[in-house]
Chains A and B, each alone.
Chain A
Amino acid sequence: MSSNFILFLAGISLLICLAITPPKLQCQENPYIVTYDHYLEEPGNLEIEYFSTFGTQSAGNNFHAFWMEFEYGATAWWTTELYLDAQTTFGDSTVFTGVRWENRFRLLKYEHFINPVIYVEYEHKSAADKILKEVEGHDVELDFAESNAVLRKQHSNEIETKLILSSTYKGWNFSENTLAAKNLSNLPWEFGYALGFSRPLALKASAKRCSLCSQNFIAGAEMYGGLGDRYSFGLHDTSHYFAPVLAWNLPSDWSLRISSGFGLNDNSHRFVFRLGISREVSNFRSMVGKVLKGNQ
């Protein structure tokens, strides 16, 4: 087991600790795993999330990629997130694959029919990264065919930007993301997209507090893929996925997300199953403030 992998175990332990603290606030998560909508984290709150991705690999071994996500609402118009990524390739090994630092900025003061958000992310990752949090450029299934020992030696620093457009109409959310990523070692800009729609199963809240009420479930679907790079923009040698998604927002402060993704062409993994669990720590800012100031 890699020493860095201990970080993940620490994260999971933290999640378990959160499970036994009393609930304060229910999060209202959209079910998307790749697509972003325009809703940011509530200011001062920290959301801790764990995601798993099980993927099939036609030329090579199947894999389980996983990441911890720490999402903090710095203000009502700025959310910042830290990701720690790792993966296990069955019959091979478990490796830590990278760190990401993501920022999302809400551009407009009021809600409009289309709401834009700017996304900027710095990634330091190895080629063994298999979380498929986004698909860009000419990313294809064959990229994962090499062993972890080979892939983990290739590191990259990347800046990724997205324009997130999102609308909410009569309970439906429609989100469109366009992606442009630049490897900082003189490689061309790469492009990608993600589209999603979702709706709660009930729009009215129940007068009773319940876990299985239909208002707590949000169902939808997302589609994402690469669009080539600056020199060969388009759909050739790219991979694309379609994934029905479901979120269950529990009154006990937890959210679960499930997604079954299907590759849409021969360059894609045939099946990608994802599972996410998250918990919101409300008033995190005040908690940190109290610790630093030594208040009660």
Chain B
Amino acid sequence: MRPRLVIIALLLFIQLAASSWAQNAPSASKKKKSLYAEIGKAPVKARARQNPFENDPEAIAAGGNLYAQHCAECHGSKAEGRKRGPSLLVSEVQRAEPGAIFWILTNGVVRRDMPVWSKLPEPQRWQLVSFLKSLRSPSPTPVEKSSP
């Protein structure tokens, strides 16, 4: 086995990785907008699905663990969004039906680098939906309480 072949293969690998990296660098805001638009593409049947773990505190805790393991790296530890993944605290996500978020998790947005998460079993994807829905507008609550 000639070492030069190993080097050629390594170079090819690096070259391809670099080219794909370059191809995948459209403007961040354009990418985020199109990602949110994907939620609207969820079929009616998918949107109508109910979360079997809705308001289940254990599911929210489990979903939090799953989020930390699989999602936080791209979307941020508080779902605030990062370069690789948009914020999940925005109204487009928080007002979306649980079924639509579940549909996005299942199908990903493959052309926009959001991977398919159907490798997580269905109950775990619903647990993730429970967690994401539990993040909605944490700041307005104390204001509402203090108002007469």
- Whether B111 and A82, one on each chain, are in contact in the complex, defined by CB atoms closer than 8 angstroms, is no
User: Chain A nearest CB: distance from B109 CB in Å?
Assistant: 8
Q: Do the beta carbons of A282 and B119 come within 8 Å of each other?
A: no
Q: How far is the CB of B132 from chain A (nearest CB, A)?
A: 14
Q: Mark B103-147, 1 if CB is under 8 A from A, else 0.
A: 000111111111110111111100100000000000000000000
The complex places the Cα of A13 from the Cα of B108 at a distance, in Å, of 35
Q: How far is the CB of B59 from chain A (nearest CB, A)?
A: 8
A171 to B121, CA, bound (A): 5
| A43, CB-defined interface residue at 8 Å | yes
Question: B3: which of A4, A28, A74 is its contact (CB, 8 Å)?
Answer: A4
- Do A207 and B62 have beta carbons less than 8 Å apart? yes
* Other contacts beyond A74-B17, A75-B24, A76-B115: 4, CB < 8 A: A25-B69, A26-B69, A82-B10, A285-B21
Of A47-55, A94-102, A142-150, A264-272, the one touching chain B: A94-102
A132 to chain B, nearest CB (A): 19
Residue of A74, A111, A126, A251 near B20 (CB, 8 A) is A74
State A25–B74 Cα separation when bound (angstroms): 10
CB distance from B47 to the nearest CB of A (A): 15
Residues of chain A lying within 8 A (CB to CB) of residue B121:
171, 200, 203-204
For A203, the closest partner residue in chain B by CB is B121
Residues of B within 8 A of A207 (CB): 58, 61-62, 65
Which residues of the other chain, B, contact A177 by a CB distance below 8 angstroms?
none
Count residues of chain B with CB under 8 A from any CB of chain A: 46
Sorted nearest first, the 5 A-B pairs with minimum C-beta distance are A74-B20, A207-B61, A26-B69, A203-B121, A205-B62
B115 contact set on A, CB distance < 8 A: 40, 42-43, 73, 76
Contact between chains at B9 and A101 (CB < 8 Å): yes
Contacts of B5 in A (CB 8 A): 99, 124
| Residues of chain A from 68 to 82 with CB closer than 8 A to chain B in the complex | 70, 72-78, 80, 82
Q: List the count of A-B residue pairs having beta carbons below 8 Å apart.
A: 127
Closest to A253 in B: B69
**Main SS class of interface, B:** helix
Q: How far is the CA of A181 from the CA of B3 in the complex (A)?
A: 25
Chain A residues bordering chain B, tally (CB within 8 A): 56
CB pair B116 A4 closer than 8 Å: no
A292 → chain B, closest Cβ, in Å? 8
A3 CB within 8 Å of chain B: yes
- Taking CB atoms, residues of chain A closer than 8 Å to B72 are 25
Chain A hits for B106, CB < 8 A: 111
- Chain B's nearest CB lies how many Å from the CB of A213? 10
Q: Which residue of A lies closest to B111 (CB)?
A: A109
In the complex, are the beta carbons of B110 and A77 less than 8 A apart? Answer: yes
A4, A124, A168, A207, most chain B CB atoms within 10 A: A207
B1 within 8 A of A: yes
What residues of chain A lie closer than 8 Å to B24, measured between beta carbons? 43, 75
Chain B: which residue is nearest A24 at the CB level? B73
